[in-house]
Structure 1
Amino acid sequence: MNKQNMKNILKMMIFLCLVITLLHLSSRIVEPKQNTKESGIKYENARGFYGERQNSLDIIAIGNSDLYNAMNPLQLWHEQGIPSYVCAEPSQKIVEAYSLLKQTYLNQTPQLIILEVDELFTKSDVDDLDISISETLKEIFPVFDYHNRWKNIQKDDFIKEKVYNQKILTKGYKYYNNVQSYKGGKSYLKNKKKSSLTYTTQYYLNEFIKYAKNNGSQVLLMCCPTANTWTMDKHHTIQKIADQYQLQFLDFNMLLDDIDFDWTHDTRDGGNHLNDFGAQKVTHYLGNYLKLQYHFQDYRTHQDYQNWNQDYLEYHQKLKYYKGKNGFIGK
């Protein structure tokens, strides 16, 4: 190799080092210093676990909007004494779920990870790869995720360290009490939609399960009632995956009669998401199932968890105020 080539390689290495340094420094500046919407955090509802006492959550549930409309951790607490948190984001993909999973172990050691599986059925590997590359860059350099924060940068962003301790009263659940019926009954299960997983999804699902198990957590696959997207073919696909990994699979679309579910009353948007009436039924069944299958400890009288009893009371006090309003999210 001649001297000119050596010089060119050296220049390239120096340039790359400068770029990486700039990305690192700019990421540190724009990354939110608090896990609140006001600070710029994305989907603060899904990241309130940071504000919970360290290693206090027995269950972390991860998924898309189906999940945060169907699982109410405060109801689960009141009925079973199990501390849990719903880390759900709109239109979440498995690569994003995997990234969020890794974040939860920064301050929690859950016994069980619940993965809502409706998010596993994506369009194509091309779309999945694009999201995968984007999520990887955001994870390494948060500036790619929070670049728009340059518009609202404050002096404190240059000097403050991250302190993620903001609690979310509802523990990730989103309350809706409006009713918009779905009148097709169970006919949606016969629909024919894409029911295979892309290679990218399969890869990240495997990584998700492996990461959870390596950190001492069991994994439960779960599907909430959703008439707009779920089918019997999808059920069979997930059941095969559950069998492959020796996991439990709880599909509420197969349990509609068992939980006395009513599509004309228990959905807020014509069958896509549940309202609070539907969520109460799903959460009640889920609590009994978890208690039986996983033998969780009941912490309702434990001294270290009395704040959960207080949160439950405060939540219901606020519901009285918000009666007739939709989309209550308390802090």
Structure 2
Amino acid sequence: MHKILSIFSFNGVCALKRFIRKGILFLVLLFTIFGLISPVFVYKTQHMGKLKEGLYLSDDQYDVVFMGSSHMNGGMDPNVLWKQHGITSFNYATGGQPINVTYYLLKDVLKKHQHPIVVLDVFYLGMTNQYGERGLVSNAIDNMKFSFNKLDAIWNCTPPEDRISYLFPVLKYHFRWSSLEWKDFGFDCSSVYYTKGFVAGTDKYGKPISKWEDTDSRIDIPQKSLEYLNKIIELSKTEDFQLILVNMPCDYSGPNQQSGWINDCEALFNTVADYAESNQIPFLDLYDLAEDIGIDFANDMNNSGHLNLWGAYKVGTYFGDYLAQNYDLTDHRSDSAYAQWNEDYKYSQVATILKK
């Protein structure tokens, strides 16, 4: 009897092991399939084109990289810096990009570029929510190459219940199966590379800002924002790059009343100015400098929070002059190795005329 029980016990263990092996194999195959088909289901947007081409596919090296939210995305045109100063740059900003997502995206940028000047948009330091808006965070994380850094980004920047869908985007975009197009199977990321990541609208806000009033008040930087700002500052030391903080022109009346946001942007950026000075980091508050730059809020803003093409040109001209005067950057315009940058500039101008 004991011998019979031993046989059954042995057979049971073997069956359990086979079941576990098959289960593991099934999960490996399932996750492999999810990984292979997920890029097909991810939305083919300008954000995908700029990140895939500008970060992983192109071999170009940039003197300057722009990081941050849509305020930066539509506020700094690398083609302006190229035309006026021969500075190579790329705009890696995406709409609704919280500072923690920026940190992990910057780590990928630094794998490609050695010691660039990093220009960081500080607007999203004002976010008080634990996590950014799902659809907007996806603009960045969905288009990052799979790596341990991406896993860290998913773990630290997304809520627990959403993490598996950031790892396998097909789980959140599966509803697209009936509307897939040919471009979903072979999206040409190079088609938008001439913009160097910049996208701005051509609308005009039509309203003057209510006031350009100075204030001496301060409020604390939200804890999570401060944590990741410190991480970026520490990264600038370990990776040996120069960091510049900027704040774009914006009508603060909207964000000041927005849920999940601090209620006094002016006071926040006063605190940022103090913090930058204490850490010996340049901070350009382009909101305060708007009159010097020549920003006409009614005509140079696309809406209350974003510059339009004309405003971005003014800001790019001002910032390019600032870089040329304060940093030792090579003018590449006469270098034949950079001839394509001249062609991309021309193409950007044609595209701008068509947009107008």
C-alpha distance 275-165 of structure 1, shift in aligned 2 (>3 A): closer
Describe the superposition over 1:295-326 as per-residue Cα deviations: whole angstroms up to 9, x where unpaired: 21111111211101000111112223333xxx
Q: Structure 1 pair 68/41, CA: closer, same or farther in 2 (3 Å)?
A: closer
Per the TM alignment, residue 279 of structure 1 is displaced from its structure 2 partner at its CA by: 0.8
User: Residue type matched to 2:194 in 1?
Assistant: L
Deviation of 1:104 after TM superposition, in Å, equals: 1.4
What does residue 25 of structure 1 align with? Answer: 32
Match of 1:244 in 2: 278
Q: Distance in 1 between matches of 2:333 and 2:314?
A: 21
Is it true that 1:304 corresponds to 2:315 in the alignment?
Answer: no
Residue 266 of structure 2 is aligned to residue 259 of structure 1: no
Query: Equivalent residues in 2 for 1:30-45 (5 A)?
Result: 30-32=37-39, 37-38=43-44, 43-45=48-50
Amino acid at match of 2:314: K
The corresponding residue for 1:117 is: 122
Output one character per residue of 1:13-44: Cα deviation in whole Å (capped at 9) or x when no partner. Answer: 9999889957863563245389x954x89643
Secondary structure in structure 2 of the residue aligned to 1:168 = helix
Unaligned runs of 5+ in 1: 1-6, 155-159, 324-331
Q: How many Å separate the matches in 2 of 1:81 and 1:317?
A: 19
Match of 1:219 in 2: 243
Unaligned runs of 5+ in 2: 1-12, 138-153, 256-263
Residue equivalent to 2:351 = 318
SS at match of 1:103: helix
Following superposition, the deviation at residue 287 of structure 1 comes to 0.2
Find the counterpart in structure 2 of residue 82 from structure 1.
87
* Alignment correspondent of 2:197: 172
> Are residue 182 (structure 1) and residue 216 (structure 2) matched?
no
- Over 3 Å counting, the alpha-carbon distance change for 1:188 and 1:172 in structure 2 is farther
Structure 1 residue 203 corresponds to structure 2 residue 227: yes
Q: Which has the larger displacement, 181-190 or 275-284?
A: 181-190
What amino acid is aligned across from residue 275 of structure 1 in structure 2? N
Q: Secondary structure at 1:258's aligned position in 2?
A: helix
Q: CA deviation at 1:122?
A: 1.0
| 2:88 pairs with 1:54 | no
Q: TM-score, normalised by structure 2?
A: 0.71
Deviation (angstroms), 1:116 = 0.2
Contact 2:216 2:270 in 1 (8 A): no
1:143 maps onto 2:167 in alignment: yes
Question: Any idea what the Cα deviations from partners look like across 1:192-230, whole Å, max 9, x if unmatched?
Answer: 8x9422222222222222224322311110011112347
CA shift digits 1:224-247 (9 cap, x unpaired): 111234743122111122123221
Say if 2:35 and 2:168, in contact at 8 Å, map to a contact too: no
Q: Quick check: 19-28 or 96-105, which moved more?
A: 19-28
- Secondary structure (helix, strand or coil) at the match of 1:320 reads helix
Greater shift, 223-232 or 245-254, is seen at 223-232
What whole-Å deviation, never above 9, does each CA across 1:97-131 have from its counterpart, x for those lacking one? 1121122133333521111000111124x447x98
Aligned equivalent of 1:291:
324
| Correspondence 1:282 to 2:315 | yes
C-alpha distance in structure 1 between counterparts of 2:228 and 2:27, whole Å:
26
Greater displacement, 77-86 / 234-243: 234-243
Which residue type is aligned with residue 89 of structure 1?
A: T
**Distance of aligned partners of 1:292 and 1:24 in 2 relative to their CA distance in 1, 3 Å threshold:** farther
After superposition, the Cα gap between the structure-2 partners of 1:311 and 1:27, relative to the gap in structure 1 and judged at 3 Å, is same
Question: Which protein has the larger Cα radius of gyration, Structure 1 or Structure 2?
Answer: 2
Partners of 2:300 and 2:308 within 8 A in 1: yes
Residue aligning to 1:104:
109
Secondary structure at the counterpart of residue 105 of structure 1: helix
Partner Cα separation in structure 2 for residue 169 and residue 41 of structure 1: 12
CA distance in 2, matches of 1:244, 1:272: 28
Match of 2:258 in 1: none
Q: RMSD of the alignment, in Å? A: 3.9
Structure with greater helix percent? 2
Distance 1:244 1:19 in 2: 55
Q: Out of 16-25 and 232-241, give the one that drifted further.
A: 16-25
TM-score for both structures, normalised by structure 1:
0.76
Letter in 2 for 1:147: L
Taking a change above 3 Å as real, the CA distance of residues 298 and 209 of structure 1, as seen in their structure-2 partners, is same
Distance change >3 Å, CA 24–CA 237, structure 1 → 2: farther
**Structure 1 counterpart SS, 2:271:** helix
Distance 1:111 1:32 in 2: 29
Q: Secondary structure at the match of 1:264?
A: helix
